[in-house]
Amino acid sequence: MTRYGFAIILAASVMAPACTDNIPTPPPNSGATTGGTTTTFDHDNSQINPFDLLARIQQEGPPRYTSHVHSCSKVRYATLGNVLTSLGVNAANTTMLSAGDLYTTGYNALGGPNYANRIRENILVSTSGASREFDIFAAGATETLATLKPANTFARCPGVQIIDTSTTPATCRADGITCVIGFPATATHLALCNLSIQNASTPAVGQQLAVAAMLAAAYTCE
């Protein structure tokens, strides 16, 4: 077959569908393809004033500098053990899934140093380290609650209790929260602590969750 004949056949095969009435039509549009502020995230597309950006950089420094200055490192492994001890948690407890057991067996996950192999401690917050630390605080919350009770003689906060069980339902105390987080408690701290107790399945679970959440917020980047 010549090139000319092949071109004619190819053109005919392409044009043939156009000569029929059985051309499929696309389905009708079932709805709008764009969303609104109530159905999608409302992005702020406004442009920043370059002079405002320059003033911010001059005050705060360039992003590569502020990313180092304003970031936070994790609590070092030995420091975390001291914190647990200061809160009445037995860091040497070998009972399975206790706070002490999770702390000891989580050495690698928490980024502990390996001096034998000349590996320094990891100071960055990792997913595994943060997850293990949250688990430790959740498991140790019951020990902290048992320690910081009325008329306690604990060295960190003698005579201070976290939860006031004389009320119905039990309520959080500002002095107890201050002892746990290490700085003065605010009205927001009290409100969130009380909500954790009230919305939990049981008061005991709510108290444990409240203390665990306070510890996690105080000793992580959260």
Is 99 inside any structural domain?
yes
Q: Which helix (H) or strand (E) holds 172?
A: strand 171-172
Under the banding of pLDDT at 50, 70 and 90, the label for residue 6 is: very low
- Separation between Cα atoms, residue 211 and residue 148, nearest integer Å: 11
- The number of folded domains in the chain is 1
Is 88 inside any structural domain?
yes
Mean pLDDT of the 136-156 span: 81
What residue type is assigned to position 175 of the chain?
D
Phi, psi at 207, each rounded to 5°:
-65, -40
Could you tell me the residue range of the domain that residue 186 belongs to? 77-218
The full length of the chain comes to 222
Residue 17 scores a pLDDT above 60? no
What residue type is assigned to position 17 of the chain?
P
pTM to 2 decimal places: 0.64
Phi, psi at 36, each rounded to 5°:
-120, -175
Under the banding of pLDDT at 50, 70 and 90, the label for residue 168 is: confident
Is 8 inside any structural domain?
no
Question: What is residue 40's predicted lDDT score, i.e. its pLDDT?
Answer: 65
**3-class state of residue 62 by DSSP:** coil
Question: What is residue 102's predicted lDDT score, i.e. its pLDDT?
Answer: 92
Question: What is residue 11's predicted lDDT score, i.e. its pLDDT?
Answer: 47
Residue 33 scores a pLDDT above 60? no
Mean pLDDT of the 38-54 span: 72
**Straight-line distance from the first to the last Cα atom of the chain, in angstroms, rounded to the nearest whole number:** 76
Those residues with Cβ within 8 angstroms of residue 185's Cβ, 6 or more apart along the chain or in another chain: 174, 175, 177, 178
pLDDT tens, residue by residue, 87-133: 888 888 888 988 889 999 988 888 888 888 888 888 877 888 888 88
